Structure 1
């Protein structure tokens, strides 16, 4: 029984260590979108803080899959989102919401 509890405890620690951290993930986005998601990039791309949460999440998915190329930014966005999971996207979204 002790072994089972020890394994369960270690598994829980591992989950929290690998949980997506929206603030850390967003640092890469901040270069173009601003520290508070307030920048209008290239005078075309609207500030992320002005876009609805569901839309931002959908856009991230579409960019990562190579299905979106709004304002000609598809290739760079796909590259920047490479390797991120849906949990990562949700963490980034949650962080952006805290910036409002």
Structure 2
């Protein structure tokens, strides 16, 4: 029982930290995607609010590698994703998935 509570407590702490980091990282995205992810970046992209974290992770990794060019925004997104670590991408994707 104590082990279960400890594990649940650690998971909650991890998820809270992940969300806080994702929210902080998202400030760099809000200029194009809006505060709530509902803005079409440069009037071209789809809104990202509520997009699954798996899809966001996949896209950010592909942008970072220069392998994705959705809506002709590949170069812009490559520059935006260039400095994101794997943990940053996960945190950002988790936060974006919660936007409504």
TM-score, normalization by structure 2: 0.73
Task: Report the 3-state secondary structure (helix = DSSP H, G, I; strand = E; otherwise coil) of the residue aligned with 2:36.
Answer: coil
The number of equivalent residue pairs is 83
Q: Superposed, which structure 2 residues align to 1:1-100 within 5 Å? A: 21-49=21-49, 51-100=51-100
Q: Secondary structure at the match of 2:29?
A: helix
Alpha-carbon contact 2:50-2:97 (below 8 Å) kept = no
RMSD over aligned Cα atoms: 1.9
In 1, Cα distance between the equivalents of 2:43 and 2:36?
17
Would you say the 8 A contact 2:37–2:47 is kept in 1?
yes
In structure 1, runs of 5+ residues without a counterpart are: 1-15
Moved over 3 A (4+): none
Alpha-carbon shift at residue 30 of structure 1 (Å): 0.6
